[in-house]
């Protein structure tokens, strides 16, 4: 149970723990560090870390360290996103690593072919090995988020996200998935994956819930070793870090699943809960030989993990014996007290071994860190320890011996990417991850029947794959971005055709001849962190079109099978009542055919495959049950942890209560204006501007604003209280609005955000001037643009302010936060 206690209780507990023998040895806390955020390593488990150190490797490291300059050492502890650096830079700056962020592709191409990934890997490798000064040549390593397959590369096999795999309860399958992911990533020349995620999510509002195997730490513990062995190979065998494997990362250490449903939040729990719940699979991962651990963006009791020495050094390295290296998470060091993205010796001194940096200022980070290493702010022993750990992993992984990425044993074997064998494993994973929540006798369907398939999601591979699929957020991608994938609709069509039946796809559910049954596929749109955080677990608040479709088909006397796509359990009582069968499919990935495998009987009328999935997260009976874990007091789910019907073990579901709790928030996070209105409690404040309703997609779903040019005027969408957009700014989120210029401006126009009485703006007049009058278009301005101009992103009172002193008529239909791939420094005109 994630129990919140008063700050006084936490302080008393921490003082008691730190008074124990051996407590606090890892850290002399700063004066302003909360006492409750200082761990006592003595109460944490000891772990048999593997592999054992190899004296021959340690001797090589000694020789390398002796020959390296301080400049070389500092460069090794910095990793930079490929969107911010070129191979030519690495000729001068011998960085330890590069990464591709969720939207960084080779040569600025998110859809680059595997051959292009390999080509760029060669270029960075060559640059790292180019030197003539006699100092050691140390290969650079490339890290990537292969979190459900090699999901950044077009055409790769995409597995179900972890929430679905948690429902499968199959360690052998997890190991196979790790092996396939490693091979398909190695084929493109990459060395290292930032996976697996071992978060034990306790509040399902978090937008990364689907990256967690379960609310229960035991499932993470059961899976961690298997996934690490799949990705890296088994310690003690010739497979360990062989060329067809990768360096694995166990993340995010520690407590990322306990932040109250908010990304980069604060896990406010006693140390015993942090240990007993959130440590989860880490001991198993360390015993299986994980070679890197990623520090969490989040805090524990007020202290950022990237600066918490008691946990990074005292618990992880000293108590549990982890001897790989600790990497940060996307500028996470910049959130440590007293730090910026370009300057943070505190994180290194706390136990971070490698900065993960994105942005134009990586040379500043290098210069500042070098100056601090020379001055002793970062002690020589700490710098050497960080570099030793990085070199140890590089030597274990064979990067010094295997040459250019394209010369390695499995490089350029692109036929392994989405091979039939790999797709078969992914299809099996889909079958085993499906959880049957309800079946009033309609399943299994007969393949010889007349089947209607409805819902736009049925033929959207982007929606069934979810976030972290080609792009970071994974949204709005065409099926052509997944050339080797099968949509759920295509899988059904193939199955029905093979069975002699007829399958028809109508997204809106229309039909001419009444079908024997309808399969409706619907669910959440793709998202990742930031965008995915929600205020409660109500499915699709404000848009009940999916429910209307289900009800219409059921009212027509058609048996209705609902296939629900989601990254978390959601309140769908009404949708379940309108269905005869309801399948929680979570985010199945590229092999949509696995859904049809379980929905349909074989030629003999018997189920070809039974449902095997069991809930790894408790399912809510109310939308406000976002903290719903088996160990909680008053545990009262609709479907308990471990629930799952099957053909062999059927069950009945009674009519469910559809009453929505009064007063519950309806707002969708990050949406400031939509469907003609601002969120409840917000206001549209105008000065010297008139406004009126405009029809775009529906009646008055947009607003027209008119400046007559007689005086300076502005429109502000104001929040009822200050909102904190600091994390979104760090995460490279943009302020996005859709608009139509009805009368062009005759004067400068500015888009701004307001904090208190201060408005920070960027010019957008030229951009508006290029817009075709009368046509709807979209503009995106990165939040970083406002932050860099001095906006207090932690206390925004109006996230959208449009102003001009001349005439302008503009219609606006949507204002929201979103990720939009932007050229660097794209700040207005």
Tell me the three state secondary structure of residue 52: coil
pLDDT band at 635 (very low <50, low <70, confident <90, very high): very high
Segment 703-715, tens digit of pLDDT: 999 999 999 999 9
Q: What is the mean pLDDT of the chain?
A: 93
pLDDT band at 28 (very low <50, low <70, confident <90, very high): low
Question: What is the distance between the alpha carbons of residues 393 and 247, in angstroms, rounded to a whole number?
Answer: 8
Assess whether pLDDT exceeds 80 at residue 12: no
Asked about 524 being catalytic, the answer comes back as no
pLDDT band at 728 (very low <50, low <70, confident <90, very high): confident
Question: What is the distance between the alpha carbons of residues 24 and 39, in angstroms, rounded to a whole number?
Answer: 7
The pLDDT of residue 10 is 32
Assess whether pLDDT exceeds 90 at residue 698: no
pLDDT band at 30 (very low <50, low <70, confident <90, very high): low
Catalytic residue among 72, 329, 432, 597: 329
Mean pLDDT of 521-533: 93
- The answer to whether 110 and 153 have CB atoms below 8 angstroms apart is no
- The answer to whether 83 and 74 have CB atoms below 8 angstroms apart is no
Catalytic residue among 211, 529, 533, 728: 529
Segment 499-526, tens digit of pLDDT: 999 999 999 999 999 999 999 999 999 9
What proportion of the chain, given as a percentage, has pLDDT over 70? Answer: 95
Question: What is the distance between the alpha carbons of residues 489 and 496, in angstroms, rounded to a whole number?
Answer: 11
The pLDDT of residue 3 is 36
In whole angstroms, how far apart are CA 596 and each of 186, 493, 495, 586? 31, 9, 7, 15
Mean pLDDT of 356-384: 97
Segments in 77-209 forming alpha helices (H): 87-92, 114-128, 162-168, 171-186
Assess whether pLDDT exceeds 60 at residue 732: yes
Asked about 529 being catalytic, the answer comes back as yes
Segment 43-87, tens digit of pLDDT: 999 999 999 999 999 999 999 999 999 999 999 999 999 999 999
Mean pLDDT of 263-286: 97
pLDDT band at 8 (very low <50, low <70, confident <90, very high): very low
Segment 148-200, tens digit of pLDDT: 999 999 999 999 999 999 999 999 999 999 999 999 999 999 999 999 999 99
β 807-818/734-743 pair status: antiparallel
Segment 237-264, tens digit of pLDDT: 999 999 999 999 999 999 999 999 888 9
Mean pLDDT of 320-334: 97
Assess whether pLDDT exceeds 80 at residue 31: no
Q: Is 605 left (phi over 0), alpha (psi -120 to 50) or beta?
A: left
Closest to 343 in 3D by CA, of 122, 74, 133, 575:
74
Mean pLDDT of 444-471: 97
Mean pLDDT of 22-31: 49
Segment 773-813, tens digit of pLDDT: 999 999 999 999 999 899 999 999 999 999 999 999 999 99
Hey, what's the torsion of the CAs at 540, 541, 543, 546, to 10 degrees?
A: 40
The pLDDT of residue 346 is 98
pLDDT band at 825 (very low <50, low <70, confident <90, very high): very low
Assess whether pLDDT exceeds 50 at residue 15: no
- The answer to whether 26 and 298 have CB atoms below 8 angstroms apart is no
In whole angstroms, how far apart are CA 412 and each of 118, 154, 246, 273? 7, 15, 15, 46
Which are the contacts of 349, defined by CB distance < 8 A and separation ≥ 6? 309, 378, 379, 382
Mean pLDDT of 751-757: 94
Question: Which DSSP state fits 800?
Answer: E
- The answer to whether 793 and 729 have CB atoms below 8 angstroms apart is yes
Which of 4-8, 60-64, 233-237, 757-761 shows the lowest mean pLDDT across its residues?
4-8
Segment 371-402, tens digit of pLDDT: 999 999 999 999 999 999 999 999 999 999 99
- The answer to whether 243 and 408 have CB atoms below 8 angstroms apart is yes
pLDDT band at 670 (very low <50, low <70, confident <90, very high): confident
- List b or e across 248-282, with b for residues whose CB sees 16 or more CB atoms inside 10 angstroms: bbbbbbbbbbbbbbbbbbbbbbbbebbbebbbbbb
The pLDDT of residue 5 is 31
Question: What is the distance between the alpha carbons of residues 83 and 797, in angstroms, rounded to a whole number?
Answer: 32
Which are the contacts of 401, defined by CB distance < 8 A and separation ≥ 6? none
Assess whether pLDDT exceeds 80 at residue 39: yes
The pLDDT of residue 822 is 59
The pLDDT of residue 237 is 98
């Amino acid at each position: 149970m994630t129990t919140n206690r008063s700050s006084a209780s936490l302080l008393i507990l921490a003082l008691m723990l730190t008074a124990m023998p051996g407590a606090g040895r890892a850290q002399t806390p700063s004066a302003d560090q909360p006492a409750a955020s200082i761990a006592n390593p003595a109460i944490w488990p000891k772990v048999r870390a593997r592999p054992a150190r190899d004296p021959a490797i340690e001797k090589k490291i000694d020789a390398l360290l002796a020959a390296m300059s301080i400049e070389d050492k500092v460069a090794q502890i910095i990793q930079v996103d490929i969107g911010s650096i070129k191979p030519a830079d690495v000729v001068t700056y011998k960085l330890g690593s590069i990464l591709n962020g969720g939207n960084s592709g080779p040569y600025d191409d998110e859809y680059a072919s595997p051959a292009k990934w390999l080509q760029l890997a060669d270029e960075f490798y060559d640059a790292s090995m180019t030197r003539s000064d006699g100092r050691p040549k140390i290969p650079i390593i490339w890290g990537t988020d292969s979190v459900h397959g090699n999901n950044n590369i077009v055409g790769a096999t995409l597995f179900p996200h972890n929430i679905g795999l948690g429902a499968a309860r199959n360690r052998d399958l997890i190991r196979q998935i790790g092996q396939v992911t490693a091979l398909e990533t190695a084929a493109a020349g990459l060395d290292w994956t930032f996976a697996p995620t071992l978060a034990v999510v306790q509040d399902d509002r978090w937008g990364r819930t689907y990256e967690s195997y379960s609310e229960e730490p035991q499932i993470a513990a059961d899976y961690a070793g298997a996934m690490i062995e799949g990705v890296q190979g088994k310690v003690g065998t010739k497979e360990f870090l062989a060329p067809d494997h990768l360096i694995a990362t166990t993340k995010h250490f520690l407590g990322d699943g306990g932040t109250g449903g908010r990304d980069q939040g604060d896990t406010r729990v006693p140390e015993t809960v942090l240990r007993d719940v959130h440590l989860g699979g880490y001991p198993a991962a360390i015993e299986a030989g994980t070679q890197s651990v990623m520090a969490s963006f989040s805090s524990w009791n007020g202290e950022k993990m990237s600066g918490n020495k008691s946990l990074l050094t005292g618990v992880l390295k000293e108590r549990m014996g982890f001897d790989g290296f600790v990497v940060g998470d996307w500028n996470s060091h910049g959130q440590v007290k007293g730090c910026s993205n370009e300057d943070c010796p505190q994180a290194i001194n706390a136990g971070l071994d490698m900065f993960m940096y994105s942005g134009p200022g990586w040379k500043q980070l290098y210069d500042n860190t070098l100056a601090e290493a020379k001055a002793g702010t970062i002690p020589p022993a700490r710098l050497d320890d960080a570099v030793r750990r990085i070199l140890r992993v590089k030597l274990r992984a064979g990067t010094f011996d295997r040459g250019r990425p394209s010369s390695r044993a499995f490089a350029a074997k692109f036929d392994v990417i989405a091979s039939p064998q790999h797709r078969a494993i992914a299809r099996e994973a889909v079958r085993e991850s499906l959880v049957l929540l309800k079946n009033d006798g309609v399943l299994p369907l007969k393949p010889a029947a007349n089947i209607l398939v409805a819902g736009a999601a049925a033929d959207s591979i982007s929606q069934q794959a979810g976030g972290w699929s080609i792009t970071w957020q994974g949204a709005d991608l065409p099926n052509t971005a997944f050339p080797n994938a099968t949509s759920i609709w295509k899988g059904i069509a193939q199955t029905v055709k093979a069975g002699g039946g007829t399958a028809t796809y109508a997204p809106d559910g229309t039909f001419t001849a009444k079908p024997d049954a309808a399969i409706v596929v619907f669910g959440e749109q793709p998202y990742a962190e930031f965008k995915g955080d929600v205020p409660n677990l109500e499915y699709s608040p404000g848009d009940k079109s999916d429910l209307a479709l289900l009800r219409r088909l059921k009212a027509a006397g058609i048996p209705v099978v609902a296939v629900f796509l989601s990254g978390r359990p959601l309140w769908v009582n009404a949708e379940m009542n309108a269905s005869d069968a309801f399948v929680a499919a979570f985010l199945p990935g590229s092999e949509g055919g696995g859904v049809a495998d379980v929905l349909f009987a074989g030629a003999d009328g018997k189920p070809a495959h039974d449902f095997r999935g069991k809930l790894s997260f408790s399912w809510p009976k109310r939308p406000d049950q976002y903290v719903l874990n088996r160990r909680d007091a008053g545990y009262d789910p609709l479907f308990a942890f471990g629930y799952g019907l099957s053909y062999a073990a059927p069950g009945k579901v009674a009519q469910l209560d559809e009453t929505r709790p009064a007063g519950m928030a309806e707002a969708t996070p990050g949406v400031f204006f939509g469907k003609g209105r601002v969120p409840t409690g917000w206001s549209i404040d105008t000065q010297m501007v008139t406004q009126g309703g405009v029809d775009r997609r529906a009646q008055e779903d947009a607003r027209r604003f008119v400046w007559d040019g007689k005086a300076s005027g502005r429109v502000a969408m104001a929040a009822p209280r200050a909102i904190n957009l600091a994390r979104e700014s760090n995460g490279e989120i943009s302020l996005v609005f859709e608009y139509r210029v009805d009368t062009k401006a005759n004067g400068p126009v500015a888009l701004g955000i307001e904090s208190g009485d201060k408005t920070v703006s960027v010019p957008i007049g030229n951009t508006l001037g290029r817009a075709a009058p009368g046509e709807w278009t979209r503009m995106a301005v990165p939040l970083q643009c406002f932050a860099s101009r001095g906006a207090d992103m932690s206390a925004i009172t109006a996230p959208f302010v449009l102003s001009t002193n001349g005439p302008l008529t503009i219609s606006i239909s949507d204002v929201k936060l979103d990720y939009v791939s932007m050229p660097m420094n794209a700040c207005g005109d």
